[in-house]
């Protein structure tokens, strides 16, 4: 035990243990009871309280206690200020009745004398026997609940008699079991609960407090207690209080019990005892006391949790962008929510609401991210984390709806960059045709085709880029072809004099084909240079929905047109007109054939003026 001490205002030195007991809100309910400090029965009048107060103050000033035995000797004695406050309480009828009901009635309880003797002697066996015995009277039931409150708070602070022993399991096994109707039964199962400490994980003090608070909650909602309070008011005979104040008195008791539990919860939080905080909050959830009472009582406690939540620093940056900043914050928030969840299973502390508010702020930060970032897979992962951390179904629904919205937006985005919305006038086109019937009329065969075309989503920027790539390929092809033609036309007559006419034409055609291939190479090099990282190349059409749609319709051989206005041309001239051409590759081949014919004519002319190359 620590030997550190504390000096009170009256100069009396107190060890740390006494200071801890004085700060306990639950023990103060009994430690500062006017009936304990003044050694008065619950039937005492206000005048008796005043006379006893003078006697108690006189003895306290000289360091002496009242001659009557202390009903709760393991708790610290009261000081002069507490004695004066006790007297004022006795003079206030409403406060006096609240204290009276939360103290022990040794007069009306048939077993009151044995209870008083057990408390004075700190007799654990006698207290255990008292709690096991039930005579059905309301005074006895109230005393039993108050004894459980006293012992529960005392055991929480490590003082007072322990009513459960190491052999409690054996006591539960030794109950008088009887066989009735083929079933083993026992007359009083409450003994088993008391002996085993089964409530709230087998923790003894938590079990006692759970029984006490839940029992008080049931009584406060019953007409029996209301009638008992009316009888107490009548017996008191004070003009300042009447039967109309019954509800006020019951509400005051309910509020006081809630404040006591919350006060102990706050103390356990300050001590860092997370398990005890969980026990106490669970106790509140099973108390049969209205949730509104607990929500008001726990309100001051929520400030401590809010301070811990604020320490997470939602504005902290990781240096990897807003999405990663929110992801890191959600990870910390999720860890805090997992730690808080057992503390507020009944949701009376409002911890889930605080977590949801923080998650809502994170969700707002995600929605403010640039649209192109929102369409990335990492953004969806972080958005899904929002739904996991949140406890509110409304936030989960909002996240789900936002994901659906992103899916719809992604469908209207450019297929190549995925960052900008498509425009119909800039879309590429994918077309195909297939034979559906063939009919013979004499020597004539009539063939019918089914044609189809679909747009490939594209934005104006990507369309401009693809048009530039097409220009690069064309310029490379025509530049090389022109060079070959000029070389064939202007070469010296002595060159290739051993080359035959046919071989010359073959060489020219091969050179033109090479120029055509080099045009494709130039286009591929240009695409690799100007296409930003992470975007699709200009010829990536096989992953589009248009390609899949045509495949689903039964088309297999397709032509892709990536000119800047390809789909606009389809809409203008029709699918058949566009597909009737040879596509981009066919158009280039057409130019190759035309140029080849020109080269052939020039070659013939050159050859006709000379016998041999």
* Domain end point (choices 411, 442, 466): 411
Task: Check residues 94 and 283 and name the one with the higher pLDDT.
Answer: 94
* Domain end point (choices 411, 446, 480): 411
At residue 1, the pLDDT reads 34
Please say if the pLDDT value at position 190 is more than 50: no
CB 567 within 8 A of CB 427: yes
Both 547 and 603 in one domain: the answer is yes
Both 443 and 405 in one domain: the answer is no
Mean pLDDT of the 573-595 span: 52
Burial 102-134 (b: 16+ CB within 10 A, else e): bbbbbeebebbebbeebbeeebbebbbebbeee
Q: What is the DSSP string of 502-516?
A: HHHHHHHHHHHHHHH
Please say if the pLDDT value at position 169 is more than 80: no
> 233-237, 276-280, 493-497: which has the minimum mean pLDDT?
493-497
pLDDT band at 240; cut points 50, 70, 90: confident
> 199-213, 454-468, 476-490: which has the minimum mean pLDDT?
476-490
In a domain, 110, yes or no: yes
**pLDDT tens digits, residue range 108-157?**
999 999 999 999 999 999 999 999 887 778 999 999 999 999 999 999 98
> Which residues 6+ apart lie within 8 Å of 593 measured at CB?
none
Residue 122: both structure tokens together: 């700190």
Neighbours of 10 (CB within 10 A): 11
> 52-61, 196-205, 244-253: which has the minimum mean pLDDT?
196-205
**pLDDT tens digits, residue range 288-333?**
888 888 878 888 777 778 887 887 777 677 777 888 888 888 888 8
In a domain, 398, yes or no: yes
> 39-48, 165-174, 592-601: which has the minimum mean pLDDT?
165-174
Dihedral angle computed from the Cα positions of residues 516, 518, 520 and 521, in that order, rounded to the nearest 10 degrees: 170
Mean pLDDT of the 374-378 span: 80
Dihedral angle computed from the Cα positions of residues 602, 608, 610 and 613, in that order, rounded to the nearest 10 degrees: 50
In a domain, 136, yes or no: yes
At residue 463, the pLDDT reads 87
At residue 562, the pLDDT reads 83
Both 149 and 254 in one domain: the answer is yes
Both 405 and 456 in one domain: the answer is no
CB 80 within 8 A of CB 60: yes
**pLDDT tens digits, residue range 391-425?**
888 899 999 998 888 887 777 788 888 778 788 88
In a domain, 215, yes or no: yes
Mean pLDDT of the 87-93 span: 90
Both 466 and 571 in one domain: the answer is yes
Task: Check residues 199 and 384 and name the one with the higher pLDDT.
Answer: 384
Both 157 and 200 in one domain: the answer is yes
Both 236 and 324 in one domain: the answer is no
Task: Check residues 190 and 283 and name the one with the higher pLDDT.
Answer: 283
Q: How far apart are CA 200 and CA 104, in angstroms?
A: 26
Both 458 and 368 in one domain: the answer is no
> 200-209, 357-366, 426-435, 492-501: which has the minimum mean pLDDT?
492-501
Both 455 and 365 in one domain: the answer is no
Instruction: Tell me, rounded to whole angstroms, the distance of Cα 89 from its chain centroid.
Output: 47
At residue 583, the pLDDT reads 43
In a domain, 298, yes or no: no
pLDDT band at 489; cut points 50, 70, 90: low
Both 456 and 319 in one domain: the answer is no
pLDDT band at 10; cut points 50, 70, 90: very low
**pLDDT tens digits, residue range 422-469?**
888 888 888 888 888 888 777 788 878 888 888 888 888 888 888 888
In a domain, 292, yes or no: no
Alpha helices in 368-412, H assignment, sequence order: 371-374, 377-389, 393-411
> For the chain, what is the mean pLDDT?
79
Both 379 and 498 in one domain: the answer is no
Q: How far apart are CA 75 and CA 120, in angstroms?
A: 11
Q: How many domains does the chain have?
A: 3
At residue 597, the pLDDT reads 55
Q: How far apart are CA 76 and CA 19, in angstroms?
A: 9
At residue 277, the pLDDT reads 83
At residue 195, the pLDDT reads 41
Both 195 and 60 in one domain: the answer is yes
**pLDDT tens digits, residue range 524-568?**
777 777 788 878 888 888 888 888 888 888 888 888 888 888 888
Run of H or E including 433:
strand 428-441
* Domain end point (choices 268, 285, 302): 285
Q: pTM, whole model, 2 decimals? A: 0.59
In a domain, 416, yes or no: no
Domain range holding 77? Answer: 5-285
In a domain, 36, yes or no: yes
At residue 16, the pLDDT reads 67
């Amino acid at each position: 035990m620590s030997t550190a001490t504390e000096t009170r205002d009256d100069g009396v030195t107190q060890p740390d243990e006494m200071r801890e007991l004085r700060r306990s809100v639950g023990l103060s309910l009994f430690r500062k009871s006017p009936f304990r400090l003044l050694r008065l029965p619950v039937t005492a009048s206000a005048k008796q309280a005043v006379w006893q107060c003078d006697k108690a103050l006189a003895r306290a000033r000289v360091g002496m206690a009242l001659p009557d035995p202390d009903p709760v000797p393991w708790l610290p004695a009261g000081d002069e200020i507490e004695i004066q406050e006790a007297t004022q309480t006795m003079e206030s009828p409403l406060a006096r009745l609240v204290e009276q009901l939360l103290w022990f009635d040794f007069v009306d309880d048939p077993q009151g004398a044995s209870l008083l003797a057990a408390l004075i002697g700190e007799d654990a066996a006698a207290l255990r026997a008292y709690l096991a015995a039930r005579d059905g009277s309301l005074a006895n039931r109230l005393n039993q609940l108050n004894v459980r409150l006293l012992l529960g708070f005392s055991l929480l602070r490590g003082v007072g008699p322990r009513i459960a022993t190491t052999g409690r399991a054996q006591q539960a096994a030794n109950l008088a079991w009887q066989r009735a109707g083929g079933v083993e039964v026992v007359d009083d199962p409450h003994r088993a609960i008391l002996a085993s400490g089964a409530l709230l994980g087998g923790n003894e003090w938590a079990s006692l407090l759970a029984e006490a608070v839940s029992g008080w909650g049931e009584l406060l909602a019953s007409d029996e207690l209301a009638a008992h309070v009316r009888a107490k008011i009548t017996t008191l005979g004070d003009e300042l209080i009447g039967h109309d104040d019954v509800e006020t008195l019951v509400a005051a008791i309910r509020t006081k019990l809630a404040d006591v539990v919350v006060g102990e919860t706050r103390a356990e939080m300050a001590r860092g005892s997370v398990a005890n905080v969980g026990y106490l909050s669970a106790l509140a959830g099973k108390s049969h006391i209205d949730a509104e009472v607990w929500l008001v009582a726990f309100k001051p406690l929520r400030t401590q949790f809010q301070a811990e939540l604020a320490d997470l620093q939602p504005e902290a940056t990781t240096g990897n962008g807003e999405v990663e900043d929110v992801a890191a914050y959600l990870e910390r928030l999720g860890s805090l929510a997992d730690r808080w969840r057992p503390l507020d299973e009944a949701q009376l502390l409002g911890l889930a609401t605080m977590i949801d508010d923080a998650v809502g702020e994170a969700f707002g930060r995600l929605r403010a991210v640039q649209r192109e970032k929102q369409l990335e897979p990492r953004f969806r992962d972080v958005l899904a984390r929002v739904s996991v951390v949140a406890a509110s179904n409304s936030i989960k629904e909002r996240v789900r709806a936002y994901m659906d919205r992103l899916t719809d937006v992604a469908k209207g985005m450019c297929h190549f960059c995925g960052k900008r919305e498509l425009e119909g006038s800039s879309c590429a086109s994918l077309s195909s045709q297939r034979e559906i019937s063939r009919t013979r009329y004499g020597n004539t065969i009539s063939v019918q085709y089914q044609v189809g075309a679909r747009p490939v989503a594209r934005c104006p920027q990507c369309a401009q880029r693809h048009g530039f790539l097409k220009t690069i390929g064309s310029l490379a092809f025509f530049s090389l072809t022109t060079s070959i033609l000029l070389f064939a036309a202007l070469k010296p007559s002595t060159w290739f004099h051993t080359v035959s006419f046919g071989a010359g034409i073959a060489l020219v055609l091969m050179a033109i084909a090479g120029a055509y291939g080099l045009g494709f190479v130039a286009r591929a090099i240009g695409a690799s240079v100007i296409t930003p990282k992470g975007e699709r190349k200009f010829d990536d059409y096989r992953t589009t929905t248009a390609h899949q749609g045509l495949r689903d319709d039964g088309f297999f051989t397709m032509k892709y047109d990536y000119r800047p206005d390809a789909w606009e041309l389809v809409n203008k001239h029709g699918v058949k007109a566009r597909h009737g051409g040879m596509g981009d590759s066919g158009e280039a081949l057409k130019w190759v054939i035309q140029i080849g014919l020109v080269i052939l004519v020039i070659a013939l002319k050159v050859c006709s003026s000379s016998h041999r190359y």
